[in-house]
Amino acid sequence: MMRLVLSCRVTIALTALLISLAPVHELHAQDADSVRLAELESRIEAVTRELERMQLGRDVVEADSSIQGLGPAASKVYRVNQGVSLGGYGEFLYENFAANREDGSGSGARNQADALRVVLYVGYKFNDRLLFNSEIEIEHAKESFLEFAYLDYRLTDQVGIRGGLLLAPLGLVNELHEPPIFLGTERPLTENRIIPTTWRENGIGLFGSGDAFSWRLYVMNSFNGTKFTAGGLRGGRQKGAKALAEDMGVAARFDYTGTPGLILGVSGYTGETAQGQELANQPVGGRVSIWDVHLDYKKRGWDVRGVVAGAQVSDVTAMNSLIGLEGASGIGSNMLGWYLQAGYDLLRTSASTHQLIPYLRFEKVNTQRGVAAGFSASPANDLTVTSIGAAWRPVTQVIAKLGYQIHSTAANTGVNQLNASLGWLF
């Protein structure tokens, strides 16, 4: 009996002990799971942070710290990943000329297919303040040019200094001449003969921008005025190649950019162009002054732009004598050109990336609006061009254009042409 009681007591005690121990065991197991879970969460957090660092870059994600004794903000530029930036643009152009001029006589113009330009953009950012930027161009499949090449140094967020082979900051096309940006198979004549796109010269200057404006102010070697013609200033460009720098010019530009999609601005240039040449032992100035007012608006399917540009040349009689120009072949003392262009994307409301933009451009250019006493103006240099066509952009960087140009001159010598072009930028 006693053994039975003892046995029962032992059993009860053991059962009680097991019961009392069981929660402790489960608790320990739960604690271990919690530790493992926390450890896993910690590891996942570490992995995702590392992933974020790799995606965004360590200079973006890592906390500020001092480098080379500079404060955190100042030293930040030294953490920026350096590197080469590559890009490019180009265009092919086919021109089909009418057999007759507007006066009915034979035009003599031959149709032409041209690998007009292929341009490689190369830039290198040394740090957030200092960079190199350039465009190397092959024109007509065989002529190579340096379109621009300069160093930029940012003095502040808003102001920088720039030196090298610079694009003159005039008009709309000279600085922004990638084919997908402008409508029309050919660049406007105003920005070819009066603002001689692509106009680049060696120089140095300041550039800047604010919340609602941008500006540039350059000193550049001036034109070589002995290469001007009755057809405009284009021949006077020196393009940075051993450029005569006896005469320097000043170019400036101011744009209002406070409304997205709108650029409204003015630009100007002045400089003597005789480049040290003398006539009868007397120095010749040959000052050229160019001005322009421009507008560009692109929004909600509309693409509208307009430019008015004029140029005045002084000492024209002396310049003509220097060059040996006579009669109606003399340089114009006063030039004026303007155009207005509008297009609208017919596919604006479609879900695709494609754009189909019919456009119309009307333009008048006269490079001999005024001539020196004793010279005459050729009516053939008083042009009116109406361009009608359509541009198709499958994506914003690629464009195919088809257009018809009606050329008319005061001498009835205009030759109409049908153009087709392909353009791209990347």
Partner 1 sequence: MTIAFASPISAQSLTQDEALTLAFQDAQLERRTAFLDDEQVARASTLAGPDVEVESTVVSYYVATRGGGPVGVAYFDVHRVRTLPQVVMLVVGTDNRVGRVETVSFREPPEYRAPDGWLEQFHGRELDGELSLKGAIANITGATLTSGAVTRATRRVLALHAVIDPFGAEVHDAEAHDADAGDLTANRR
Q: Considering only residues 96, 107, 133, 314, which one is a binding residue for partner 1 as defined by CB under 8 A?
A: 133
Q: Of 167 and 335, which CB lies nearer to partner 1 in the complex structure?
A: 167
Segment lying near partner 1 (by CB under 8 A), choices 93-101, 229-237, 274-282, 296-304: 296-304
Segment lying near partner 1 (by CB under 8 A), choices 16-24, 83-91, 98-106, 307-315: 83-91
Q: Of 8 and 212, which CB lies nearer to partner 1 in the complex structure?
A: 212
CB of 185 to partner 1, least distance (A): 19
Q: Considering only residues 37, 46, 61, 241, which one is a binding residue for partner 1 as defined by CB under 8 A?
A: 61
Query: 344-351: long-range contacts (C-beta < 8 A, 24 or more apart)?
Result: 344/301, 344/302, 344/303, 345/301, 345/302, 345/303, 348/300, 348/301
Segment lying near partner 1 (by CB under 8 A), choices 26-34, 188-196, 346-354, 361-369: 346-354
Please tell me whether the peptide bond between 198 and the residue prior to it is cis, using omega within 30 degrees of 0. Answer: yes
Q: Of 57 and 106, which CB lies nearer to partner 1 in the complex structure?
A: 57
Q: Considering only residues 206, 328, 347, 410, which one is a binding residue for partner 1 as defined by CB under 8 A?
A: 347
Task: Give the total of residues touching partner 1 (CB under 8 A).
Answer: 71
141 within 8 A of 115, measured Cβ to Cβ: yes
Q: Considering only residues 85, 105, 111, 412, which one is a binding residue for partner 1 as defined by CB under 8 A?
A: 85
Report 147-176 residues binding partner 1 (CB under 8 A). 152, 154-157, 160, 175-176
Q: Of 298 and 364, which CB lies nearer to partner 1 in the complex structure?
A: 298
For residue 237, give the nearest of 228, 247, 248 by alpha carbon.
228
Q: Which residues pair with 425 in a beta bridge?
A: 89
Q: Of 89 and 223, which CB lies nearer to partner 1 in the complex structure?
A: 89
Q: Is residue 261 a contact point for partner 1 (CB under 8 A)?
A: yes
Tokens standing for residue 166: 């610079």
Segment lying near partner 1 (by CB under 8 A), choices 238-246, 279-287, 292-300, 320-328: 292-300
Report 88-117 residues binding partner 1 (CB under 8 A). none
Q: Is residue 310 a contact point for partner 1 (CB under 8 A)?
A: no
Report 190-209 residues binding partner 1 (CB under 8 A). 209
Q: Is residue 37 a contact point for partner 1 (CB under 8 A)?
A: no
Rounded Cα distance, 336 and 311, in Å? 7
Report 356-395 residues binding partner 1 (CB under 8 A). 395
Q: Is residue 131 a contact point for partner 1 (CB under 8 A)?
A: yes
Q: Of 28 and 348, which CB lies nearer to partner 1 in the complex structure?
A: 348
Q: Considering only residues 116, 165, 181, 400, which one is a binding residue for partner 1 as defined by CB under 8 A?
A: 181
Rounded Cα distance, 401 and 82, in Å? 38
Q: Is residue 300 a contact point for partner 1 (CB under 8 A)?
A: yes
Q: Of 164 and 332, which CB lies nearer to partner 1 in the complex structure?
A: 164
Rounded Cα distance, 194 and 176, in Å? 17
